[in-house]
């Protein structure tokens, strides 16, 4: 017969746990509770997204009309996520990493769906190349200055993007719409907050809430209220567009 494991002194273990808990400062306890709640809500969100993406025709807003390249792809590896972060020069928020490694490598969510990660060298239509394009890396001669770490995540076509602000810990979502950009004006003229976080944005999308409409109303109101600056005041020009990309998911 196998030797029996020594009996666990449950009372002593419980007393030790209670003592350890009493030693936790209120601020530490609040952070632990907040972390636990975030982990649970994130897991629920991931499960909802998996159920939604199981139907290819409901995986994104434009799944019916989008090209085959914007279909839902199998999940990416953690190595592909790290490689993309290294190419971009900054880390992804935790939720974005989970989306790529557990839900799929692109093709689901608002608009035409989240951009895919490169599986080899970056190419047109993937997340890294799209950020490089918007930041002017593809065209270093341009005077266009895209905000650092503002990552185009979802495309609505015609140059309209939902972007993730990776410069902030909360990872707020920002709408970029070139229709509200005037040459010679600051780029902020064409940016408006969509949601305080990626999690909030995806929950709103799953619930069928139209955040784009409210953001565009904000842009229109700002455009009416603020006079356009003169072109000779060091403002930013419109970024160059790729040939043949006008109106396309990645354009």
- Any domain includes 140: yes
Lowest mean pLDDT among 23-37, 68-82, 219-233: 23-37
Overall number of domains in the chain: 1
- Any domain includes 244: no
How far, in Å, CA of 154 to CA of 111, rounded?
Answer: 6
Query: What's the average model confidence in pLDDT over 209-213?
Result: 95
Query: What's the average model confidence in pLDDT over 225-233?
Result: 49
Decide if 152 contacts 131 (C-beta within 8 A): yes
- Any domain includes 245: no
- Any domain includes 15: no
Q: In what order do the strands lie in the sheet with 191-195?
A: 150-155, 161-165, 173-176, 191-195
pLDDT tens-digit readout, 187-208: 888 999 999 999 999 999 999 9
How far, in Å, CA of 67 to CA of 94, rounded?
Answer: 29
- Any domain includes 2: no
- Any domain includes 88: yes
- Any domain includes 19: no
pTM of the model: 0.75
Range of the domain at 148: 26-225
pLDDT tens-digit readout, 96-151: 999 999 999 999 999 999 999 998 778 888 999 999 999 887 666 566 778 999 99
CATH code, domain with 112: 3.40.1580.10
Handedness of CA 185, 149, 134, 250 (dihedral sign): negative
Name the DSSP class of 153.
E
Q: How many whole angstroms from its chain centre is CA 87?
A: 17
């Amino acid at each position: 017969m196998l030797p029996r494991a020594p009996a666990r002194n449950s009372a002593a273990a419980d007393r030790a746990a209670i003592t350890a808990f009493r030693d936790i400062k209120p601020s530490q306890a609040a952070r632990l509770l907040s972390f636990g709640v975030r982990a649970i809500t994130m897991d629920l969100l991931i499960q909802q997204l998996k159920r939604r993406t199981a139907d290819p025709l409901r995986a994104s807003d434009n799944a019916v009309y989008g090209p085959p390249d914007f279909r839902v792809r199998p999940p990416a590896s953690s190595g592909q996520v790290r490689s993309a972060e290294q190419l971009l020069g900054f880390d992804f928020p935790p939720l974005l990493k989970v989306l790529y490694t557990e839900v799929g490598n692109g093709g689901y969510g608002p608009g035409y769906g989240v951009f895919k990660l490169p599986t080899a060298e970056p190419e047109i239509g993937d997340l890294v190349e799209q950020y490089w394009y918007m930041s002017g890396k593809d065209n270093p001669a341009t005077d266009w200055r895209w905000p650092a770490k503002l990552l185009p995540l979802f495309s609505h076509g015609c140059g309209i993007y939902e972007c993730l602000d990776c410069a902030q810990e909360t990872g707020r979502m920002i709408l970029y719409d070139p229709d509200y950009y005037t040459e010679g004006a600051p780029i902020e003229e064409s940016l408006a907050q969509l949601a305080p976080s990626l999690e909030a944005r995806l929950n709103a999308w799953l619930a069928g809430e139209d955040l784009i409409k409210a953001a565009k109303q904000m842009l229109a109101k700002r455009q009416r209220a603020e006079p356009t600056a003169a072109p000779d005041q060091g403002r930013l020009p419109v970024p160059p567009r790729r040939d043949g990309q006008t109106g396309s998911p990645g354009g």
